[in-house]
C-alpha cells in the first residue's frame, strides 16, 4: 500500500511517516502544495493524507485538481480544529473523510483503513482489480500500468486476471490453464504467456515470481 502525505508541519509529518511505515505502508511526502501536485497527478497511490493549510497552493486547490484527475483516489484531509469551513469545502471538493488537528495516530490509522476498504470494495464492484500500479478492468478487458494502457493479448489478460484475483497467494499452472479455458494447454504454453506478461508489467514495478514446483506469485518490486 502506497500513501502520499502532503503536510508542511515537519514535526507532524515526521511522526506520521514513521508511524505509517511501521505499519507497513510505503509513503511519500511533500511539504508544499506545489511539489505535491505533480507527484499526486503523475503517480499511483492507494490513498492520500492532505493537509488543507499548505503553502504554495492551498490544500483545497490541490484537492480539486487531484479529484478531477483521479476520481476514485481515496483522500483524507487534515484541518484545523476550528476549520469548519475548510472541512465543508473539502468534502464538497471531493475529500472522502477528514480529521481535525490535533488527532491521535490510532484514529488516523482506523480512518485510513476504512477508506482503503471502501475503495477496494468500490473497485471490485466496478469489476476492477489492482495491484501496485497495475489496474485491470474486467468488464472492458483492459489493463493499465501507472495509468498507461498495457498492450496485452486476450490470454495475457486472462493470466493477469487470475494472478490479480489471487494476489496474496501462489497460483498454480493448472489454475491458469483452467482460466485460459483449456486443459489442453500444456505447462510450456502457460510459461510462455507468463513470460510475455512479466516482460510487459515489470517496467511498472510488478514482478511475477516463479515458485518452484508450485506456480506463480505477483510481487511488488523494490527499485
Ligand atoms: Ca499546515
Q: Indicate left, alpha or beta for 139 from its phi (over 0: left) and psi (-120 to 50: alpha).
A: alpha
- Calculate how far, in angstroms, residue 96's C-alpha sits from the geometric centre of ligand 1: 19
pLDDT higher than threshold 70 for residue 82: yes
Q: What are the two backbone dihedrals, phi and then psi, of residue 11, each rounded to the nearest 5 degrees?
A: -65, -45
Grid coordinates given for 190: 502457460
Q: What residues have a C-beta under 5 A from ligand 1, the ion?
A: 8, 51, 53
pLDDT over 60 (residue 144): yes
Is residue 193 very low, low, confident or very high in pLDDT (cuts 50, 70, 90)? Answer: very high
What pTM was computed for the model? 0.71
Range with lowest mean pLDDT among 3-17, 31-45, 95-109, 127-141: 127-141
Element (H, E) at 4: strand 2-6
Distance 66 CA to ligand 1 centre (A): 18
Q: What integer is the mean pLDDT of 119-132?
A: 86
C-alpha closest to that of 12 among 73, 84, 88, 99? 99
Distance CA 4, CA 109 (A): 14
Q: Give me 61's grid cell.
A: 486547490
Mean pLDDT over all residues of the chain?
A: 91
Give residue 55 CA to ligand 1 midpoint distance, Å.
7
pLDDT reported for residue 40: 94
Sign, CA torsion 22/120/45/114: negative
Q: 51 alpha carbon to ligand 1 midpoint, in Å?
A: 6
Q: How far is the CA of 111 from the centre of ligand 1 (A)?
A: 20
Amino acid at each position: 500500500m502506497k500513501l502520499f502525505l502532503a503536510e508542511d508541519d515537519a514535526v507532524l509529518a515526521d511522526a506520521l511517516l514513521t508511524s505509517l511505515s511501521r505499519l507497513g505502508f510505503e509513503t511519500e511526502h511533500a511539504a508544499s502544495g506545489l511539489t505535491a501536485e505533480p507527484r499526486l497527478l503523475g503517480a499511483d497511490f492507494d490513498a492520500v493524507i492532505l493537509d488543507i493549510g499548505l503553502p504554495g497552493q492551498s490544500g483545497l486547490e490541490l484537492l480539486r485538481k487531484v479529484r478531477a484527475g483521479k476520481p476514485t483516489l481515496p483522500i483524507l484531509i487534515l484541518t484545523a480544529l476550528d476549520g469548519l469551513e475548510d472541512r465543508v469545502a473539502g468534502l464538497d471538493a471531493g475529500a472522502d473523510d477528514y480529521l481535525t488537528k490535533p488527532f491521535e495516530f490510532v484514529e488516523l490509522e482506523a480512518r485510513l483503513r476504512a477508506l482503503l476498504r471502501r475503495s477496494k470494495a468500490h473497485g471490485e464492484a466496478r469489476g476492477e482489480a489492482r495491484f501496485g500500479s497495475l489496474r485491470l478492468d474486467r468488464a472492458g478487458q483492459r489493463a493499465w500500468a501507472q495509468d498507461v494502457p498495457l498492450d496485452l493479448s486476450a490470454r495475457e489478460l486472462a493470466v493477469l486476471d487470475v494472478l490479480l484475483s489471487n494476489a496474496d497467494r501462489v497460483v498454480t499452472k493448472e489454475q491458469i490453464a483452467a482460466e485460459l479455458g483449456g486443459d489442453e494447454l500444456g505447462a510450456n504454453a502457460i510459461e510462455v504467456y507468463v513470460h510475455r506478461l512479466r516482460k510487459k508489467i515489470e517496467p511498472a514495478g510488478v514482478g511475477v515470481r516463479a515458485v518452484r514446483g508450485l506456480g506463480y506469485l505477483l510481487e511488488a518490486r523494490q527499485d
